[in-house]
């Protein structure tokens, strides 16, 4: 899993590389290039790849290889067995930056490029599509554009987003590259997971796509899959997903995207720089959101505390928003 460089790690590497003096020749210094310029090159490389390579599928196994015989091998671009689709996406990498020993904030990667992500649909999947901040369980195989395998995980692994600083929070699942993560939202989970007698698992009707990821949505200047500015191909099977309440304030993260635009980082009711889905006191009135959405009922003579369902959270008297977002009451 260490090949899945987190952006955080890339920044750390870039900083440490930038700090190195010339005598430290064991650290290769990769110049940071303009993202739009790199992407214009990557788009050409990926489209050339799709036109000069073919896919062969036997059972669950696929082979990606360069075309040597145009009479028998049809390019990924021209073949009709699987649908080659594309979607325009932006980089949505947010990385934790330590404020001090106990707190951190998120910084957005500055990247205005609109990327075309090509992907081949091997199987759409029968379950549900995740949102970008869901945790997902995927198995995968990563290839370079020269069809060299650089990473593989057959059994699968949970990944999560956004990353949290190591050491500051309990150990959590790794965070994958933006292109991989956004690709998982383009398919659906398995309908059923069956444990076989030998201990392995069968995933029924799991989503499976092959994503052709520009370097700007992959490792960019990182050299962990070989050269810097390498595009990556990922054959991804989406097994399962888990919706989260990132800040554990009782409001599922999906309900903390107030403007409903799918970007969970641009909703910050109290303007303190911590987005609502990571903010335990969303309106900064000094009362935890969790406490504000708690009510008491008496069951069998005993007072029991319960959390309102999201839709049932009341407003302040005369207010127009739910009370945990209104600092005039609690
Ligand atoms: Ca929450
Ligand atoms: Ca906030
Ligand atoms: Ca919150
Ligand atoms: Ca509050």
| Tens-digit pLDDT profile for residues 54-103 | 999 999 999 999 999 999 999 999 999 999 999 999 998 888 888 888 77
- The C-alpha torsion from 107 through 112 and 116 to 122, rounded to 10°, is 10
- DSSP letters, 71-87, are TT---TTT--SSEEEEE
Cα 266 to middle of ligand 1, angstroms: 15
- Nearby residues for ligand 4 (ion, Cβ within 5 Å): 281, 283, 285, 287
- Nearby residues for ligand 1 (ion, Cβ within 5 Å): 245, 247, 249, 251
Ligand of minimum distance to the alpha carbon of 283: 4
Q: Give the residue from 251, 262, 239 showing the smallest Cα distance to 291.
A: 251
Assign 27 a pLDDT band (cuts: 50, 70, 90): low
Which string of b and e fits 18-42 if b means at least 16 CB within 10 Å? eeeeeeeeeeeebeeeebeebbeeb
Q: Give the residue from 233, 85, 220 showing the smallest Cα distance to 146.
A: 233
Model's pTM, two decimal places? 0.85
Ligand of minimum distance to the alpha carbon of 274: 2
C-beta atoms surrounding 148 within 10 Å? 11
- Residue 263's pLDDT is what? 87
Handedness of CA 56, 57, 58, 61 (dihedral sign): positive
Cα 321 to middle of ligand 2, angstroms: 15
Ligand of minimum distance to the alpha carbon of 288: 4
Cα 249 to middle of ligand 1, angstroms: 5
Cα 162 to middle of ligand 1, angstroms: 14
Tell me the pLDDT tens digit for each residue of 145-191. 999 999 999 989 999 998 877 666 666 788 999 999 999 999 999 99
Cα 311 to middle of ligand 3, angstroms: 15
Ligand of minimum distance to the alpha carbon of 324: 4
CA distance 106 to 87: 26
Please say if the pLDDT value at position 141 is more than 90.
yes
Please say if the pLDDT value at position 126 is more than 90.
yes
CA distance 15 to 107: 15
């Amino acid at each position: 899993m260490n090949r899945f460089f987190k952006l955080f790690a890339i920044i750390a590497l870039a900083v440490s590389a930038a700090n190195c003096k010339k005598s430290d020749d064991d650290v290769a210094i990769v110049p940071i290039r303009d993202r739009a310029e790199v992407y214009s090159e990557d788009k050409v490389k990926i489209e050339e790849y799709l036109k000069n390579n073919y896919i062969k599928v036997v059972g669950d196994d696929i082979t990606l290889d360069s075309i040597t015989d145009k009479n028998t091998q049809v390019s990924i671009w021209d073949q009709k067995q699987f649908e080659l689709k594309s979607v325009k996406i932006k980089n949505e990498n947010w990385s934790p930056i330590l404020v001090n020993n106990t707190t951190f904030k998120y910084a957005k990667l500055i990247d205005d490029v609109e990327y075309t992500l090509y992907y081949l649909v091997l199987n759409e999947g029968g379950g549900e599509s995740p949102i970008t901040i869901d945790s997902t369980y995927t198995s995968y195989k990563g290839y370079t554009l020269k069809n060299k395998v650089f990473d593989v995980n057959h059994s699968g692994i949970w990944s999560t987003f956004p990353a949290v600083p190591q050491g500051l929070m309990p150990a959590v699942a790794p965070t994958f590259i933006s292109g991989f993560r956004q690709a998982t939202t383009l398919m659906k989970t398995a309908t059923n997971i069956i444990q076989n007698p030998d201990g392995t698992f069968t995933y029924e009707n799991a989503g499976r796509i092959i994503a052709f990821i520009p370097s700007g949505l992959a490792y960019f200047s990182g050299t962990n899959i070989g050269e810097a500015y390498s595009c990556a191909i990922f054959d991804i099977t989406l097994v399962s997903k888990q919706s989260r309440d990132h800040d554990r304030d009782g409001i599922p993260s999906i309900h903390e995207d107030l403007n409903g635009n799918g970007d969970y980082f641009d909703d910050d009711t109290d303007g303190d720089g911590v987005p609502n889905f990571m903010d335990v006191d969303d309106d900064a009135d000094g009362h935890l959101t969790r406490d504000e959405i708690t009510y008491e009922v008496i069951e069998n003579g005993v007072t029991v505390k319960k959390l309102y369902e999201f839709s049932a959270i009341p407003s302040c008297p005369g207010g127009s928003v739910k009370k945990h977002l209104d600092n005039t009451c609690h």
